[in-house]
Amino acid sequence: MPRTMHAAVVTAFKQPLVLREWEVPRPGPGQILVKTEACGVCHTDLHAANGDWPLKPDPPFIPGHEAIGIVVALGAGVTVVKEGDRVGVPWLYSACGHCEYCLSAWETVCDHAEFGGYTRNGGFAEYVLADPNYVAHIPEGLGPQEAAPLICAGITTYKGIKETDARPGEWIAISGCGGLGHLAIQYAKAMGLMVCGVDIDDGKLAHATSLGADLVINASTHDPAEVLGQETGGGAHGVLITAPSLPAFKQGVAMTRKRGTCVLVGLPPGSFPLEIFNLVAGCITVRGSFVGTRKDMAECLDFAARGKVRADIELQPLSAINTIFERLETGDVPSRVVLDFAGPVPESITSRANANADSGLGADADSATKPAAVLA
């Protein structure tokens, strides 16, 4: 086992990530160490690095919550995984396991939940600690690069579709057809739904059509609620808003037909108004959905293992992370970017680590918030 690893670190909010050498963490009791093969890049990572949300992580920390890798070491008492297993280290890093939410299979809203790449160091590193009780078990035949986006974007959209309560043969509108939306379209079609894709990018809408969308609407040139109402006879039975855009939230509620359900999974900062009369008179439900449970994870990965869903991915090295974040800021990422750890580590990582080694920051085995010494 090497003594150091390469990692991309948030040292301050709204600043470029710093590429460093950090100490390889050691698994304590009830923990495992995973050698990262691939890690997806999610818009949530950008929110984390910018400190956008009310509950903020504490720099320095390592983002990344779509890490796939091989278990290389076990802490004392671990029995549910073994060395050599391929697992995913997802957003839901762990939960208490005994509160009312955990006991009713809603561990994602546990008050004591920990989150990968947020309250715990994540997968923008060559090694990552994990809780074996909450890792994703990657099915045979599903490669690490393919699986990476599914353990966040995949489970988030799959669970969101379930939360709309739309039934086979009914209409679902997917607002935002990019990184999350292109997966949502595939899951929805595999679940027997009629799909309308809504976006402001004609390229993404063309891609939505190629993935099986039955109707697409450009929200910059047409009123989605009006068009969808005409085409479906009243609007969508379910609406899933994946776009991190406040106007999309207002449009999404308007696209929902009477007695339908609009599910929010995008997380832009801020708030948006609801038209109370239409909501009440139409018996419309507006519901938040936050990733998914371990059962949802197994189900969403099974769809992919059976060839029903496939993420469109762009492979990049860890050294490109700041460029990737810049592209996410401007919407210049058509689908999903995956950091590929299989190739050689560019010299730029080590040189930048040495150049920035004066800050005294490092990796901690148990938390994303405790500094240690830089190893350069």
Task: Judge whether 177 and 208 are in contact, CB under 8 Å.
Answer: yes
Nearest by Cα to 97 from 119, 79, 81, 113: 113
Backbone angles phi, psi at 343, to 5 degrees: -80, 175
Q: How far apart are the first and last CA of the chain?
A: 17
Decide if 2 contacts 26 (C-beta within 8 A): no
Q: Which of 47, 36, 298 is nearest to 145 (CA)?
A: 36
DSSP string, 170-208: SEEEEE--STTHHHHHHHHHHTT-EEEEEES-HHHHHHH
For CATH 3.90.180.10, the residue range(s) in the chain are: 4-152+293-359
Element containing residue 129 per DSSP (H, E): strand 127-130
- Max Cα–Cα distance, the chain, nearest Å: 64
The pLDDT value given to residue 344: 52
Given CATH 3.40.50.460, say whether it is the number of domain 155-288: no
CA-to-CA distance for 224 and 204, rounded, in angstroms? 16
Delimiting residues of CATH 3.40.50.720 domain(s) in the chain: 155-288
Chunked mean pLDDT (size 10), the chain, 376 residues: 95 97 96 98 94 92 98 97 98 97 96 97 98 97 96 98 98 96 98 98 96 98 97 97 91 97 90 92 97 96 97 96 95 91 54 32 37 25
Q: How much is the pTM?
A: 0.89
Q: What is the C-alpha separation between 290 and 247, in angstroms, rounded?
A: 20
Residue environment code for 225-255, b if the CB has 16+ CB neighbours within 10 A, otherwise e: bebbbebbebbbbbbbbbbbbeebbbbbbbb
Task: Give the position of tokens 């039975």.
Answer: 237
User: Which residues, including other chains, have CB under 8 Å from residue 323's CB and lie 6 or more apart?
Assistant: none
Q: Which residues contact 3 (CB under 8 A, 6 or more apart)?
A: 23, 24, 375
Q: Tell me the residue type at 349.
A: I
Q: How far apart are CA 373 and CA 327, in angstroms?
A: 32
CB-based contact 127:24 (threshold 8 Å): yes
Per the CB < 8 A criterion, the answer to whether 31 and 245 are in contact is no
**88 CA to centre of own chain:** 12
pLDDT of residue 147: 98
The CA distance from 373 to 360, in Å, is 5
| pLDDT, position 181 | 96
Cβ–Cβ < 8 Å for 204, 268: no
Contact 4, 126 (CB under 8 A): no
43 near 179, Cβ under 8 Å? yes
Architecture in CATH of 4-152+293-359 = Alpha-Beta Complex (3.90)
pLDDT of residue 279: 95
Output the pLDDT for position 343.
63
Q: What is the pLDDT of residue 333?
A: 87
Q: Are 158 and 97 in contact (CB under 8 A)?
A: no
